[in-house]
A and B are shown apart, each in its own frame.
Chain A
Amino acid sequence: MSACIGSSAAGARTFTATSSQGLLLMAEMTFIAPALRLPIVMAVANRAISAPINIWNDHSDVMTIRDCGWIQIFVENGQEATDMSIIAFRIAEDKNVMLPVILNLDGFTLSHFIEPIIFPEQEKVRRYLPAYETTHKLDIAKPISMGLLGAPEVYTEARKATDDALVASKSRIVKAFDEFADIFGRKYNLVETYRAEDAETIIVLMGSIAETAMTAVDEMRDAGQKVGLARLRLWRPFPIEELRAAVKGAKRLAIVDRHISLGFPEGPVATEIRALLFHDQDRPRISNFILGLGGRDVPRDHFKYIVERAEELGDAGRQGHYEMVGVLE
Chain B
Amino acid sequence: MAKIKVTTDAAVKVGDIPLGFTAQPGSTRNFKTGDWRSARPALDREKCIYCGFCYIYCPDGVYKDMGPEEKYYQPDLDFCKGCGVCAAECPKKCIQMVVEEV
Contact = CB atoms under 8 A, between A and B. Distances in A.
Contacts of B19: 37, 98, 135-136
B20 A150 contact: no
Nearest to B23: A145
B102 interface: no
Nearest to A34: B20
A26 interface: no
A136 B22 contact: yes
Nearest to A33: B20
Contacts of A136: 19-20, 22
B10 interface: yes
B22 A154 contact: no
Given A157-B17, A158-B17, A161-B17, A145 B10 contact: no
Contact of B14 (A143, A145, A150, A161): A161
Contacts of A185: none
Interface residues of B, number: 19
Contact of B22 (A146, A151, A157, A161): A146
Contacts of A143: 24-25
Given A145-B27, A161-B14, A150 B9 contact: no
A245 interface: no
Contact of B31 (A37, A135, A149, A158): A149
Contacts of B22: 36, 136, 144-146, 148
A38 interface: yes
Contacts of B20: 35-38, 98, 136, 146
Nearest to A134: B20
Contacts of A98: 19-20
Contacts of B24: 143-145
A156 interface: yes
Contact of B21 (A135, A151, A158, A164): A158
A38 B20 CA distance: 8
B21 A150 contact: yes
A158 B21 CA distance: 7
Contacts of A152: 9
Contacts of A158: 17, 21
B101 to A, nearest CB: 24
Nearest to A156: B10
Contacts of B11: 153-154
A164 B31 contact: no
B4 interface: no
Contact of B13 (A35, A38, A157): A157
A126 interface: no
A279 interface: no
A151 B13 CA distance: 14
Contacts of B16: 157
Given A149-B31, A152-B9, A153-B9, A164 B14 contact: yes
Query: Nearest 5 pairs between A and B by C-beta?
Result: A153-B11, A37-B20, A161-B17, A144-B22, A160-B14
19 contacts: A36-B20, A38-B20, A98-B20, A135-B19, A144-B24, A145-B24, A148-B23, A149-B28, A150-B21, A153-B9, A153-B10, A154-B11, A154-B12, A157-B14, A157-B16, A158-B17, A161-B14, A161-B21, A164-B14
Interface of B: 9-17, 19-25, 27-28, 31
Given A153-B11, A157-B17, 5 more contacts: A38-B20, A149-B31, A157-B12, A157-B13, A158-B17
